[in-house]
Amino acid sequence: MQRLLISLLAIAQIFISCEKDDFNNDCKSRYYYYDSEKIKLTEIPNQGTISFYDTLSTETINQIIEQSPEVEILSIPSNSRHLIISIDSENCTETDKLFATIKNDSRISSCNKFLISEEGSSMGITDVFVCKLKSSTTQNQLMELITENKVEIIKRDTSNYHYIIRADKNSNGDALDKANIFFESGYFEYAELEFFGDYRTY
């Protein structure tokens, strides 16, 4: 009897392991830069963020989300254009299809899956990133990157070279992709997202 129980537990563990592998294999590997170090991340399908172009009332947000029964609101930070959601989805492909439908709403800027670090910390991203130009970078170089990547400057402080840039559903990549591209251009001291969620820096 004990041998049968051990066998059943071993089989169950194999199934759980296989399901986890399928779960991870379907989702993209990502990364971000922290002090020039590349930090690896993996997308997860069942939690994410939705960003809006403007700050909306809770009632309006609820009306938008009610159109997608697979989505449940976990948190709406006050005075924010972003919300954290849980998603009834088994894989990243399914979540991508759901996000494509949600983004048809003209009020929605972007939808993003949560990310998990190699240490197991999960984090969400929005549609914006913050960057600081090097003093040697010209405005022409900045504007060329803006145009090439289909992003927009939503706030600037030219006195200290700080910019907040939005990468929305019309950009060729999300804010994480664009922050990495901007940093890798060599034009910036940093280009970073403000992560939120169960986030720890290593």
Residue range 39-84, pLDDT digits in tens: 999 999 999 999 999 999 999 999 999 999 999 999 987 778 999 9
190 has pLDDT over 60: yes
Rounded Cα distance, 196 and 202, in Å: 15
- For residues 92 and 28, is the Cβ–Cβ distance under 8 A? yes
More confident residue, 199 or 132: 132
156 has pLDDT over 60: yes
Structure tokens at 105: 């709403």
Q: What is the model's pLDDT at position 19?
A: 40
**How many other C-beta atoms can be found within 10 angstroms of the C-beta atom of residue 137?**
17
The answer to the question of residue 161 being in a domain is yes
The mean of the pLDDT values for the chain is 87
Rounded Cα distance, 95 and 3, in Å: 41
Q: What is the model's pLDDT at position 35?
A: 87
**How many domains, in total, are found in the chain?**
2
The answer to the question of residue 8 being in a domain is no
- For residues 149 and 171, is the Cβ–Cβ distance under 8 A? yes
The answer to the question of residue 30 being in a domain is no
More confident residue, 176 or 77: 176
| Residue 119 and residue 136 in one domain | no
Name residue 122's beta-bridge partners.
116
Range of the domain at 49: 37-123
Q: Which of 196, 200, 198, 192 is nearest to 31 (CA)?
A: 192
Dump pLDDT digits (tens) for 113-125.
999 999 999 999 9
Query: CA gyration radius for the chain?
Result: 20
Rounded Cα distance, 125 and 145, in Å: 21
The answer to the question of residue 24 being in a domain is no
